[in-house]
Amino acid sequence: MNAPHPTTPAVARDDKLLKVLIAAPRGFCAGVDRAIRIVELALERFGAPVYVRHEIVHNRYVVESLKAMGAIFVESLDQVPDGVPVVFSAHGVPKTVPAKAEMRGLDYIDATCPLVSKVHRQAERAYEAGRHIIFIGHAGHPEVVGTLGQLPDGAMTLVESVDDVAALAPVDAEKLSFLTQTTLSVDDTRDIVAALQHRFPAIAGPRGEDICYATSNRQEAVKAIAARCDRMIVIGAPNSSNSLRLVEVAERLGTPAHLVQRGHDVDPAWLDAIGTLGITAGASAPETLVREVIDAIAAVRPIAEEVVVTAEENMVFKLPRGLEAA
């Protein structure tokens, strides 16, 4: 995936040394690693083309790299011809999608992140227990669409804010559960959960945190460096929920932050008259893009890098049965 990339012209705007604090953890999480590997192994096993329903992860560089290997990305199974394999993205899909694939006799591989699948199972258990589910998430996000699609219409109600909680009018306030999207702001979600528990003291919640370890860790890493930075750059896609949340975390701490996808997105004006710059990357952004952005910065000003480690990650998820030995 090391395709050539454009770089920022080497125009010296400030000769003073710029300190660059690089957050760790950053970039790829175990679910993203697994999803990309699934597509790569499917291409090795079945040959091109392999179809992928929706972007396997929200990163244009990753998607374009997999396209170059023979992956074809579509938004609907109707766009998948008969007789070719199809991969479902890491965000998860409604139950109607694999059901439709089976009806057509399509071979499919589910690359849903195991932590998203865990939320799906929790939703099923709550529904079987007769509870109505309040789901905290962002409307229209693929993970939310997939989770809501695990149960019949009307079994879940989506809330996005504390104000949404105030407007809830459940049929039975004693039979409620809540679950959350895995890539939310930890702080925002805490406030929404507190509002739910205040309004509905009997509401049941998951035993563990639904927001995934990678999302939480990356937000904590930003909190650890933002106060030391004059500005922050977050590497990620504009449709990446966890990347957008990193920008919000920095800005709430009073540090201006910019979302970029590639090195050429860095505006040299951002580097004027600052002493310290923070850098992090969303969970769908590969490390090669982190280095690309740092190189673009170094082309404008001399830099001194410092990696700030706030957590160690060693999570690895198993591949789907049948691909392990591909």
- Kindly list the strands in the beta sheet with 71-74, ordered across the sheet, starting from the edge strand earlier in the chain: 71-74, 50-53, 86-88, 108-110
**Residues belonging to the chain:** 326
DSSP symbols for 57-102: SS-HHHHHHHHHHTEEEESSGGGSPTTS-EEE-TT---THHHHHHH
Residue 101: what residue type? A
Known catalytic residue: 305? no
Find the Cα–Cα–Cα–Cα dihedral 76, 78, 80, 86, rounded to 10°.
50
C-beta atoms surrounding 98 within 10 Å: 16
Quickly tell me which residue has 């790829």 as its tokens.
Answer: 28
Closest C-alpha to 185, from 136, 232, 225, 132: 136
Closest C-alpha to 93, from 158, 150, 151, 155: 150
CB-based contacts of 207, cutoff 8 Å, min separation 6: none
Q: Catalytic: which of 143, 248, 306, 324?
A: 143
Quickly tell me which residue has 């809501």 as its tokens.
Answer: 148
Closest C-alpha to 159, from 125, 124, 200: 200
Which residues share a beta bridge with 280?
234
Distance, CA of 83 to CA of 61 (rounded, Å): 28
Closest C-alpha to 64, from 130, 3, 120, 17: 3
**Angle subtended by helix axes 241-252 and 213-226, to nearest 10:** 30
Residue 262: what residue type? R
Closest C-alpha to 104, from 130, 80, 136, 74: 80
Would you give the DSSP letter of residue 318?
Answer: P
Active-site positions? 143
